[in-house]
Amino acid sequence: FIKVEKGFHNDMLEEQDEFRERLSDLRDTIVGFTAYSDLSLYDEIYENVISVNEKIANANEDVKKFTSREALFAVTEQTDYSHVQGLAKQWEPFNILWTVSKQWMDNKEKWLNDSFEKLDAKECETIITNGTRTLFKAVKELGTAEDEETQKVLGIANQIKDDLENFKPYVPLVVGLRNPGMRDRHWEQVSNLVGQTIHPTKAADTFTLQHFLDMKMEDKVDELADIGDKSGKEFNLEKQLQAMKK
């Protein structure tokens, strides 16, 4: 039994050596992300982000495995793997930057120029709200580095953050007017408010968010959002009444 146990212990030591090598490679990969400063390559960069996230997740699982095995073998001084969490912390701003960049670059043109009737308001709200919040954290972290390469990455982070901040005022307009409760009477209220006929459902293939913005409707966001909110409350009340009739 002792011979078998020693064999398992030696196997674990070999696996730990291999794990240290993988961590060293992972550290080099993370440091290498400071060289990514071309936003036009966001798709390719995001593929690498996915790979690093998988490696970090696997590393965390390996840490649990080795910690458990060392306890099983009653190792006197267990290995300190706190540096794995340090790597994850070092990686976080790059992960945030390129994940949010991917979401924004993939969706911005679609949100502005595709049919307003197909715009997913919930997705739009989530991406913009979470993106501005997490990018604030990423910009803060990247801003602590003084090397030239990281400063270029910081420039991209600030650019995407500014883009999201500029788009953010339109979110209440999207959420309000994409409410499923919007009916003809509500679009009539919208039309009266802006001084021209507005009814995206009757021009589903051609009416876009950009049309709203071209009409300067963002100047009336609060009033428009209020119409959408009221339409949603009326819609929910109608559903409740229909359910009661059944």
- pTM to 2 decimal places: 0.85
pLDDT values of the chain reduced to their tens digit, one per residue, 246 residues: 455 456 666 777 788 889 999 999 999 999 999 999 999 999 999 999 999 999 999 999 999 888 887 777 666 677 788 999 999 999 999 999 999 999 999 999 999 999 998 999 999 999 999 999 999 999 999 999 889 999 999 999 999 999 999 999 999 989 988 988 888 999 999 989 888 888 877 676 678 999 888 888 777 888 988 998 899 888 888 778 777 776
* Residue 74, pLDDT score: 66
* Residue 78, pLDDT score: 78
* Residue 112, pLDDT score: 95
* Residue 90, pLDDT score: 95
* Residue 198, pLDDT score: 84
DSSP letters of the chain?
Answer: -HHHHHHHHHHHHHHHHHHHHHHHHHHHHHHHGGG---GGGHHHHHHHHHHHHHHHHHHHHHHHHHHHHHHHTT-SS----HHHHHHHHHHHHHHHHHHHHHHHHHHHHHHHHSBGGG--HHHHHHHHHHHHHHHHHHHHHHTT--SHHHHHHHHHHHHHHHHHHHHGGGHHHHHHHT-TT--HHHHHHHHHHHTS---GGGGTTT-BHHHHHHTTGGGGHHHHHHHHHHHHHHHHHHHHHHHHH-
